[in-house]
Structure 1
């Protein structure tokens, strides 16, 4: 699958290396204000999280907004999801799970809200993966996509100290005009793309990095936090995330 920058084994290894995945999600979870606004303004009742294992956003939407939620991913490990559900006062009946390859799956049901957080940047063909999202959006429904902004300081940090992880990302996808153009060409309306977050840097498997790298990362993080208190605007050079939203005409 040439369009894909990762394979199933990559994600099996990635998730099996993670510890403490079952966490209690707070009401102020990342992107909570944006999601709350979208849900209220569009009277969202149903949602699907694409490529979202272990399903943090599916759980978040069920827990705090009582939506009918579906999680679709091509790697799903039920014990991890069940532990996450239990930690958040939910059961396995609260989330519909589809384990499948998005590239071989036909969207049989459409949803009021289709979201992914940290998915589209793992594909070479940005238009193709976004259009696969759009296939799940019902007329009048909302597309909500977030991805990291590796064109900011955090991207330099990833490239310098975790090149292997950096290379799993399509940096060209992290372009506001490209993202908006894809949605507009697909016929979506109210298309918005912008940078989110004042400043942050992170490393995958940070505890395995050399001590010097971890200390330098902490210094960069602190410096960035101080600077963005003085210059608080969200911007391309500093913001760690990008948010894309759009509406499918109809209804």
Structure 2
């Protein structure tokens, strides 16, 4: 099996269309509190980011926690990678990089922490791609998976104003109960799966979207932010992400 909903041509075009990719990854980067808790609790020393090009989380874990990190992706754009590493005062000697197909690659190393952020929803076989994570994970190590939640307000925005991007995602995978069930079936322990984040919506390639789409997305974003500031809830309707954690 390979990447079923996208291919290398899609990812080449995706990354080449992106602007401002080379930025200094901050200490409060997305999911930083969750990752800090995992590292502090488990004394993690090594990590691999699967499907994470251009490697922001691998960079984050290297810069702020000193982990030995590796980036694995189906497609790696050398120029973009160098620019991102340069912006973070790192080189290809600091972050190991593997380009390959997860379903064909046989890991030579196991890691304390295996994470993917925005990967599993690009596959039709959700359980299969989760299982593939485990081949990289040490016994006792931690699995950390996040994916966007397109089953609520953010999904409505994607479906109506960025259908091409929406169709590159397996929406049925965006179910915490389903994900937790797969992890338990795979023999994982301490399984948690939940909606994460108060509220957010976004458009890919926003600069090239019609003015009306950008205006409506902005209006929805403001309304959602105001609502969740008054009533700070994490839910299927409003939260932008789903998080899954477990131990092997």
> Match for residue 125 of structure 2?
125
Matched, 1:229 2:229: yes
C-alpha separation in 2, matches of 1:25 and 1:96:
17
Shift of 1:85: 1.4
Matched, 1:172 2:172: yes
Shift of 1:3: 6.0
C-alpha separation in 1, matches of 2:163 and 2:51:
23
Shift of 1:176: 0.8
C-alpha separation in 1, matches of 2:189 and 2:206:
40
Aligned-pair Cα RMSD in Å = 1.0
Indicate the larger mover: 117-126 or 76-85: 76-85
Matched, 1:100 2:118: no
C-alpha separation in 1, matches of 2:85 and 2:148:
26
> Match for residue 160 of structure 1?
160
Shift of 1:43: 0.6
C-alpha separation in 2, matches of 1:12 and 1:2:
17
C-alpha separation in 2, matches of 1:82 and 1:33:
27
Q: Deviations over 1:73-106 (max 9, x none)?
A: 1211222212211211212100111111111101
C-alpha separation in 2, matches of 1:77 and 1:3:
17
Instruction: Decide whether the 8 Å contact of 2:2 with 2:101 is kept in 1.
Output: no
TM-score (norm 2): 0.98
For 1:199-238, what aligned pairs fall within 5 Å after superposition?
A: 199-238=199-238
Q: Please give the secondary structure, in 1, of the residue aligned with 2:103.
A: helix
Identify if the C-alpha distance between structure 1 residues 234 and 15 changes in structure 2 by more than 3 Å, giving closer, same or farther.
same
C-alpha separation in 1, matches of 2:57 and 2:28:
12
Q: Please give the secondary structure, in 1, of the residue aligned with 2:165.
A: helix
> Match for residue 63 of structure 1?
63
Identify if the C-alpha distance between structure 1 residues 19 and 226 changes in structure 2 by more than 3 Å, giving closer, same or farther.
same
Instruction: Decide whether the 8 Å contact of 2:2 with 2:103 is kept in 1.
Output: no
C-alpha separation in 1, matches of 2:167 and 2:181:
24
Q: Deviations over 1:9-68 (max 9, x none)?
A: 110110111122110011000000000000110110000000111111111110101100
> Match for residue 77 of structure 1?
77
C-alpha separation in 2, matches of 1:230 and 1:147:
26
> Match for residue 143 of structure 1?
143
Instruction: Decide whether the 8 Å contact of 2:196 with 2:241 is kept in 1.
Output: yes
> Match for residue 8 of structure 2?
8
C-alpha separation in 1, matches of 2:5 and 2:74:
14
**Unaligned ranges ≥5, structure 1:** none
Q: Please give the secondary structure, in 1, of the residue aligned with 2:30.
A: coil
Instruction: Decide whether the 8 Å contact of 1:3 with 1:125 is kept in 2.
Output: no
Indicate the larger mover: 101-110 or 164-173: 101-110
> Match for residue 24 of structure 1?
24
TM-score (norm 1): 0.97
> Match for residue 247 of structure 2?
247
